[in-house]
Structure 1
């Protein structure tokens, strides 16, 4: 599995005025509906339900929200770079500015875990995060993410 398999170029966005985790989930829901088709409200509700189980802020300014949805037929990725870091209840209490969300079919057990591990490994690379934080063009962000994963796999 490659990041390019789960992340479409249109699912990468820079967000300027995100003021809360709930607002962030609404932005992700709108982006998911626009790019992949599931209803924004369903995405928001699924992300909120998952977040209630425990925060998905993994530290170092990175959040990996994820959820399973009945209307999703394959794993779908969404990436947001926040211009202003957001408090996210992360494990290290640091605000988040890089968000890679995953939506998966309800039955996607191992595949969902593999995708989450792939995203986690990629987002743990300091050089990748530095490049993501230094760019505001969605096309460049997409290239950084998909290129980093292919280099890592080599």
Structure 2
């Protein structure tokens, strides 16, 4: 599975204004509900919040990967959001977050879920790539950057 298989142009957003982590999770739930195939916005929000209570999904370097498995989700769905201004997300390095890839997968996707997270961690571990994502002018440019990265890496999941 490719990371881009999880996205649609409608689930890639730039300059999203949020005031904090809770509002960010609300926005992500709304965006993800578009493709989660059976899970509602409220259900996605609840699963993301439940996962965050276990520990922050902030990676560091301004990146977070909120993710959850859901019994109601029929397909793996992702959303990529670049925030207008970074917000505190409880990342281990203490830096606020402005790049967010959210992921909701069906409950039975345990192995694929872990592989997807590993692929995202690898992608966001590249400082130059993060910089290019921050400078992309619009969602189409973000998708193009993600496609370019994917073209040089093995599928995950």
Question: Is TM > 0.5 for Structure 1 vs Structure 2?
Answer: yes
Partner of 2:153: 152
SS in 2 for 1:97: strand
Q: Are the counterparts in 2 of residues 7 and 76 from structure 1 also a CA contact under 8 Å?
A: yes
Alignment map for 1:65-144 (pairs within 5 Å): 65-144=66-145
In the alignment, structure 2 segments of 5+ residues that lack a partner are: none
Q: Are the counterparts in 2 of residues 21 and 88 from structure 1 also a CA contact under 8 Å?
A: yes
Q: Runs (4+) of structure 1 moved beyond 2 Å?
A: 34-38
RMSD (Å), alpha carbons: 1.5
Instruction: Write the distance in 2 (CA, Å) between the matches of 1:144 and 1:111.
Output: 23
Specify which structure has the bigger relative contact order, considering alpha-carbon pairs within 8 angstroms and separated by 6 or more residues.
Answer: 2
Query: What TM-score do you get using the length of structure 1 for normalisation?
Result: 0.93
Q: Are the counterparts in 2 of residues 10 and 35 from structure 1 also a CA contact under 8 Å?
A: no
In the alignment, structure 1 segments of 5+ residues that lack a partner are: none
SS in 2 for 1:152: coil
Instruction: Write the distance in 1 (CA, Å) between the matches of 2:123 and 2:141.
Output: 16
Query: What TM-score do you get using the length of structure 2 for normalisation?
Result: 0.91
